Structure 1
Amino acid sequence: MYLLPSTLVFLAAYTGTASAQTNFPPGVIATGTQGVTNPPKPTMGTAINQTSMARLLSVNSVDDFCLFAPPTMQNISDSETFEVAWCTKQRNNARLIPDGTLTGVSFIKTDAYVQVYGYGDFTRLNIPFGDFGGELDPHGALGDGNPIGGNVTSNITGSDQNFAEWMDYNQFCLRVCTTANSTYSAAAMCWHELDEMGCQFVMPGNYNFNNTFETCEAEVAYPPGWYPTATVDGTTSFSTFAQFFTGVGTDGVSYTVGDTVTPSAPFMTPSSSNCQTTSTISNGVALESLGITGASSGATASGPKATGAGTGKSYQTV
């Protein structure tokens, strides 16, 4: 997940086909366990539990998806390893995204991935006002995932599948990529090391949809940070952008990695088409009438940990 310059960003692995799919390219389907906090499989109609620690996301449609967010009010940078699932519907034993949180959502289908991105008041999901974010993915600094035990499923291929590669205020974006070939692996299409670049760089598309809820088809973007340089005999070569940062290793030795020049934009912005709109999305649950608030109480975070995209300042790299 990315949550950057006022942005919550997700990447996840998914394959876009209309019919049920049983054979997937290597590296697409997750092979690990569901995680001890999660139900054994994606499940609709589970009880409302705004203190749940479940970490299973499902990404199925414009009105049926989940996001990772903190369990109590705190910066993403301080809660990456134990973020929890918040869903638009009662599912997966997850917390429920309160009606009115989301002000615009676009659900995009392509031949290589699906992508959901949107706007809203994410202080209602325990993200402090002004927190510029973080990145959630199945890797993490220790290789155990951010959050630990987090998983992503989608039924867009015809049945629920667990996908291997994924990443997760006022804006979010989530991509689920399951198509892979010899040029574009699922890991490349859902690359997780550009945590300062923000949604419009990592998952380019039409972001002029706030106050609209839509489902569209779209072109396939190049993997994040990939730039075609030449095509010879039908084969395209690419350069890749690596985010610049410095740090100190466990041995106390300073290191510098990445490119010193940050590109201003991705190579191309995919166009969308065949958009179908709906007036709003709602789960119909009045949490306040049940004596439940959307966000749970907790320690107040001290402020943002990162600045705008491409500034060379980041709270953490993974």
Structure 2
Amino acid sequence: MFAVKSLCAVAVLASSVAAQAKFQYGTPNPNMAGVVGRNSNGPTNPKTPQENTPINQTSMARLVSVNSVDDWCIYGPPENGQTIANVEGEVVAYCTKPRNNARVIPDGTVTAAHFVKTPLYVQLMALGDFTKIGFAPGDQGGELDPHGATNMGNPVGGNVTSNVSGKDVFYEEWMNFVSVDQACIRICIAGTDVAPTPLECQHTLDEMGCNWVMPGNYADNSFDTCDGDAAYPPGLFPQPDGSTSTFQQYFSSVYTAPGGDVQTFINASPDQQTPSAAYSLPSTSQCTTASSIANGIKSLVSGSSSSAMML
């Protein structure tokens, strides 16, 4: 399970998990509202995605790109040993290549990576030892998204891009789950009336973890790129009678606004059953494998005294 700042218990408004099923999501539209990003780009970020930027393991840049099995970024702690749930608004970008003025993920950190492109989103699933980029040992992690408690994003000023359309595009809806040994990120690149981007990149299921929210291949010691079917939006469970049951994660939390106003948030019910997995595992095809991913950077330590270096 992934830790969050609020006091949480998990509940559900859904039934048991079904077998493999293909999601009939309609015709993808990369130009519909909610696809292209409108959030402001943080002041520590480059204005556009850039490759071959200086390696700076103290960078505060928060621009993440997900382009391929060996060219992607995730969010991680700005200082060594921090627990993600405590710094969701301050996390920074870590990338597999020197790009975006971000920190770099050293060789030997990632033990598996699986990249999938679907008509509605791109998704990257990775395993590794993320203590090598500052994660606290044993950290069960957290969920980052463009919203957050103040709707300014977790992290504030964070943005994501992908070039799978043939050009770099800032996207509006995305979600990134990270922990000490697992990471996954989904960027919604198109939407439909049946599956708009806020639904396919649902951001309110932060306790459920990668395998539940972003079903896919999480095998260790392997690297591949695949085309795939889009998954059912997280938390949707079609029923035998044709209806759809919707999962809601139960939580009760208190948020104190900067002005001192106290707000209590409660949803769902604490006495309902949680399904063990997503509704179905989407199929993949046209997979190609690689032996590993590497950048030639072996021993940089996040938070070190040296501020920058070049390849």
User: Is TM (by shorter chain) over 0.5?
Assistant: yes
Task: Determine the structure 2 residue equivalent to 1:4.
Answer: 2
1:23 and 1:215 mapped to 2: Cα distance?
Answer: 22
Return closer, same or farther for 1:64/1:80 CA change in 2, 3 Å cut-off.
Answer: same
Letter of the aligned partner of 1:279 in structure 2? S
Contact 2:73/2:93 (8 A) holds in 1: yes
Q: Select the residue among 111, 117, 137 that pairs with 2:125.
A: 117
Q: Select the residue among 52, 64, 68 that pairs with 1:57.
A: 64
Query: Deviation per CA, 1:80-120, whole angstroms, max 9, x where unpaired?
Result: 11100000001000001011100000001112111100100
- Point out where structure 1 has 5 or more consecutive residues left out of the alignment: 6-20, 299-318
C-alpha RMSD of matched pairs (Å): 2.1
1:97 and 1:182 mapped to 2: Cα distance?
Answer: 38
Query: Deviation per CA, 1:21-62, whole angstroms, max 9, x where unpaired?
Result: 995111010123221110010000101100100000010000
TM-score by length of 1: 0.80
Please give the residue correspondences for 1:265-280 in structure 2 after superposition, counting only pairs within 5 Å: 265-280=277-292
Shift of 1:176: 1.2
Task: Determine the structure 2 residue equivalent to 1:183.
Answer: 194
1:102 and 1:177 mapped to 2: Cα distance?
Answer: 24
Runs of 4+ aligned structure 1 residues displaced above 6 Å come to none
Return closer, same or farther for 1:48/1:248 CA change in 2, 3 Å cut-off.
Answer: closer
Give % identity.
Answer: 49
Letter of the aligned partner of 2:139 in structure 1? D
Task: Determine the structure 2 residue equivalent to 1:240.
Answer: 246
TM-score by length of 2: 0.82
1:86 counterpart = 2:94: yes
Shift of 1:247: 2.7
1:25 counterpart = 2:36: no
Contact 2:254/2:264 (8 A) holds in 1: yes
Shift of 1:271: 2.2
Contact 1:96/1:294 (8 A) holds in 2: no
Contact 2:29/2:192 (8 A) holds in 1: no
Q: Select the residue among 210, 226, 234 that pairs with 2:236.
A: 226
Task: Determine the structure 2 residue equivalent to 1:172.
Answer: 183
**Segment of structure 1 superposing worse, 187-196 or 21-30:** 21-30
Letter of the aligned partner of 1:39 in structure 2? P
Secondary structure of the 2:199 match is helix
Task: Determine the structure 2 residue equivalent to 1:67.
Answer: 74
1:53 and 1:252 mapped to 2: Cα distance?
Answer: 30
- Point out where structure 2 has 5 or more consecutive residues left out of the alignment: 4-27, 306-311
Task: Determine the structure 2 residue equivalent to 1:43.
Answer: 50
2:286 and 2:30 mapped to 1: Cα distance?
Answer: 28
Return closer, same or farther for 1:278/1:253 CA change in 2, 3 Å cut-off.
Answer: closer
1:278 and 1:184 mapped to 2: Cα distance?
Answer: 32
1:230 and 1:220 mapped to 2: Cα distance?
Answer: 21
Task: Determine the structure 2 residue equivalent to 1:101.
Answer: 109
Shift of 1:263: 1.4
Return closer, same or farther for 1:252/1:149 CA change in 2, 3 Å cut-off.
Answer: closer
For these two proteins, the number of residue pairs brought into alignment is 271
Task: Determine the structure 2 residue equivalent to 1:204.
Answer: 215
Letter of the aligned partner of 1:272 in structure 2? T
Contact 2:29/2:190 (8 A) holds in 1: no
1:172 and 1:191 mapped to 2: Cα distance?
Answer: 16
